[in-house]
Amino acid sequence: MKLIGSYTSPFVRKISVMLLEKGIVFEFVNDPPYEPGSRVVEYNPLGKVPALVADDGEVFYDSRVIAEYLELLACAPAFLPIDRHAALPVRQVEALADGVTEAASALFRESQRPAEKQDESWVLRQREKVLHGLDALEALAQEKKLLNAEQITLADIATGCALGYLNLRRIIPNWCVGRPELVKLAERLFARESFARTMPP
């Protein structure tokens, strides 16, 4: 199995964590999509990472599709309930965490542009997505049902990757304030070997 990605991508990290947790052997191909000469488009017409090349040569892209594929391989531990209906709310939280990551990534990209070219109203819109998303995740983490429950799920992994990315890019550096359960969840996840080994440089 081959994972095409980059070391800083939170979506790639989500998949790397799953593979490590499940003990699936894989080759990591570092191919940052924004660098000239990137071959990512050969695997994903959208030019985005992660992409996964399965052992039979089939290619999957978009972390949510890859996550679904990895769950189908039935390697323990499972990160989604087997019942498709029961899996839906977990996937919904995964989508929420991914949405926070997407908005944070958009904020980072915008911050890299010359100050005079940055669109203030758009930046505010992305910041709101991150803040509202974090508040919703904190509320879920407090409930300890779909997030932050005893058994780790895809919702927890996606949330850990979102929080790790906020730390990496220093987006909303005070996100911890007023979100104690997310802080505890982050500490719990970052102590795991899978998260430690995929810490972005």
Q: Which residues bind ligand GSH (CB under 6 A)?
A: 9-11, 33, 47-50, 62-64, 98, 105
Shorter beta-carbon distance to ligand GSH: residue 63 or 126 = 63
In terms of DSSP bridges, do strands 51-53 and 2-5 run parallel, antiparallel, or are they unpaired?
antiparallel
CB of 7 to ligand GSH, least distance (A): 11
- How many other β-carbons are positioned within 10 Å of the β-carbon of residue 173? 10
Shorter beta-carbon distance to ligand GSH: residue 44 or 194 = 44
Token readout for 101 is 């990551």
CB of 180 to ligand GSH, least distance (A): 28
164 neighbors 7 (Cβ within 8 angstroms): no
How far is C-alpha 33 from the geometric centre of its chain's CA atoms? 16
Shorter beta-carbon distance to ligand GSH: residue 10 or 164 = 10
| Residue appearing with tokens 């939280």 | 93
CB of 188 to ligand GSH, least distance (A): 23
Distance CA 27, CA 53 (A): 10
Shorter beta-carbon distance to ligand GSH: residue 64 or 129 = 64
Contacts (Cβ under 8 Å, ≥6 apart) of 43: 4, 51, 53, 59, 61
Distance CA 123, CA 143 (A): 31
CB of 33 to ligand GSH, least distance (A): 4
CB of 158 to ligand GSH, least distance (A): 9
Shorter beta-carbon distance to ligand GSH: residue 38 or 142 = 38
